Structure 1
Amino acid sequence: MTGDELAGTELTVVAREQVAAEVVALSLARPDGGDLPGWSPGAHVDLALGPGLVRQYSLCGDPADRSVLRIAVQREPDGRGGSRWAHGRLTVGVTVRVHGPRNTFPLVAARRYLFVAGGIGITPIHPMVAAADAADADWRLAYGGRSRATMAFATPLRERYGDRVRLCPQDETGLLDLAGLLGRPGDGLVYCCGPESLVRAVEEHCADWPPGRLHVERFAPRGDTGEPETAIEVELALSGRTVTVPPGIPILRAVEEAGVPVLSSCREGTCGTCETPVLAGVPEHRDSLLTAQERAAGDTIMICVSRARTPRLVLEL
């Protein structure tokens, strides 16, 4: 993934556009007009919206345009406050601290793609579609939402790419026909982002597919794995300390309380900021980022949510 080139840089909102009901697109730039870090489709940035209020937003602009970073924020009345803060306060001229870009959802080169987006999940998919088209790949996009009015970028995508884009407003066509869309595994890749119900349904359909064919990104944690928790010991190899992590306490919190600083952001296993190398022991993964192959390898862990299948872990901290 990309590092944290911005590292808390103050960026200014230079444009704000209503792109759907309850969705605003924001363009962020350096106050001096200088170039911003490069990024690739699938990348996101972290916005520090207030004390203890850090949120991740996928970049949905043009990677070739180094003058701005564009994000889209959907207002969630029942959310945890980030979207309300962004909608209410991030007006043109306001500055905000930004970290990133980082990419935990990269577009792998392929000859054929199926993109599946639900709601605000279109944001990382939008630049992927443009990249696939520029590479002359064979691609299709199936984009679902509650209604046309709620589907950001739906009209420009359809106007630009025609029948390659299938718009499926639920109030007109019902839910996405995943069985018809996905069928059997071919030689292409599937990229999916959207509500947890959609991501889980796609994962279930593709459960028996060859590894590496399906790529997903979540905006919310997977949820409780149902695994019982016991106390574990975590050795911090670089710091020379060992901490005991009680049941119900994240490794990240225990490490921080031991006085070892760790870069973190979402604290729910969705952003990848706290990813830490595992030197010994077997992680019990609870994040929403690692692939099946990465989980099986067991050499990295998101310490904000994951625990251990062994009584002891040794981490490179």
Structure 2
Amino acid sequence: MTTDVITATVAARRTLTPRVEEFTLLLPDDAPLQAWSAGSHLDVHLPGSPVTRQYSLCSPSSRNSYVIAVDRRVEQDGGRGGSEALHRAAVLGASVEVGEPRNHFPLTRALNYIFVAGGVGVTPMLSLAAEVERSGRPWQMLCLARTAEDMPYLAELQGKYGGKITFHGSSAGRLDLGAALADLPGGTAVYVCGPGTLADDIAGAVEDQPAVDVFVEQFTAPDLQDGTAMSFDVTLATSGETFTVAPDISLLDTLEGKGKVLASSCREGVCGTCEVGVVSGEVDHRDNVLTPEERSENESMMVCVSRCRSGRLVLDL
């Protein structure tokens, strides 16, 4: 969680699909809505649980409320239990603690935009598309789900933007992404948010097209545990203490086990809370927060999932 936590009230709840619920979270009168940019997400402290999850912000319904949409994924289907807990506990009038909005998926300046939304991955696209629409730049959105009934906000998007919205249902067969994204004009930014390998599939579909960049939002960390994790040493620059991180233990857990108190939230490399500066050493980045450019600069890391390639790291701690 962020350090500034506000207790909000569930003021409205709306069913979007058989699995996705929309929640309007009303802030107290003395806590005006914090300004947020398109693509932002909100830290939500689950009711009756120490767990925090991140959900993309949709357009606010009033000056003092946040709107999120949550896909109910039970643990047996690959979920982590967070969405199920929220669906169960966030009834009308319930209290929910939230942090300030943060943005790891901001809108970049481009000549053309393609938004690819897989199911509930449409949520950050709502604000991103609205901002591009206001700018007057060309854009299209490709919505993907099993059926139209499984695609949140589809009818609203089609009603508002018409032919800029294309839907493909996987029940009719797999979409040929190469054909759907062929011949994009130079200067196109492709934004992707969705489950599984969608981001990799999109990147592969456009990799041979010049001046086309892909931007990805994922709230599920990639599975990078390939069995090759090695132990490494970490030194704290301030105290000079050195610890060994075992292959099966995260850097964050190791530091906490040594009595070091660090900010953390998701513990899966998707929220950015545990970012720590790197003084020296080569980081094995395993997060979904840093951009490729930030990774190459090697100046910070997410200690909950990332590791070391050089045998030793010195951290700005």
Corresponding residue number in structure 2 for 1:19: 16
CA distance in 2, matches of 1:126, 1:225: 33
Q: Deviations over 1:10-35 (max 9, x none)?
A: 11111111112211111112233631
Corresponding residue number in structure 2 for 1:75: 72
Which is worse superposed, 88-97 or 32-41? 32-41
SS in 2 for 1:102: coil
SS in 2 for 1:11: strand
C-alpha contact 2:21 2:69 (8 A) present in aligned 1 = yes
Unaligned 5+ residue runs, structure 1? none
Instruction: Select which of 44, 48, 71 maps to 2:45.
Output: 48
Corresponding residue number in structure 2 for 1:230: 230
CA distance in 2, matches of 1:206, 1:291: 18
C-alpha contact 1:195 1:219 (8 A) present in aligned 2 = no
Cα distance, 1:240 vs. partner?
Answer: 4.3
Corresponding residue number in structure 1 for 2:270: 270
Change in CA separation of 1:148 and 1:133 when aligned onto 2, cut-off 3 Å: same
Equivalent residue runs for 1:122-133 within 5 Å:
122-133=122-133
C-alpha contact 1:47 1:96 (8 A) present in aligned 2 = yes
Cα distance, 1:239 vs. partner?
Answer: 4.8
C-alpha contact 1:37 1:66 (8 A) present in aligned 2 = no
Which is worse superposed, 221-230 or 207-216? 207-216
Structure 1 residue 183 and structure 2 residue 182: aligned?
Answer: yes
CA distance in 1, matches of 2:69, 2:45: 15
Which is worse superposed, 123-132 or 177-186? 177-186
Q: What letter corresponds to residue 34 of structure 2 in structure 1?
A: P
CA distance in 1, matches of 2:111, 2:210: 17
Cα distance, 1:265 vs. partner?
Answer: 1.0
Unaligned 5+ residue runs, structure 2? none
Corresponding residue number in structure 1 for 2:84: 84
Cα distance, 1:308 vs. partner?
Answer: 0.4
Cα distance, 1:225 vs. partner?
Answer: 5.1
TM-score using structure 1 length: 0.92
CA distance in 2, matches of 1:180, 1:208: 13
Cα distance, 1:304 vs. partner?
Answer: 0.6
Number of equivalent positions: 312
CA distance in 2, matches of 1:277, 1:66: 36
Instruction: Select which of 26, 30, 33 maps to 1:29.
Output: 26
CA distance in 1, matches of 2:134, 2:277: 36
Corresponding residue number in structure 1 for 2:257: 257
Q: Deviations over 1:173-209 (max 9, x none)?
A: x333311232245221100000122112112223455
CA distance in 1, matches of 2:206, 2:29: 47
TM-score using structure 2 length: 0.92
Equivalent residue runs for 1:1-317 within 5 Å:
4=2, 7-32=4-29, 34-49=31-46, 50-62=48-60, 65-77=62-74, 78=77, 79-172=79-172, 174-184=173-183, 186-208=186-208, 213-224=213-224, 226=226, 228-317=228-317
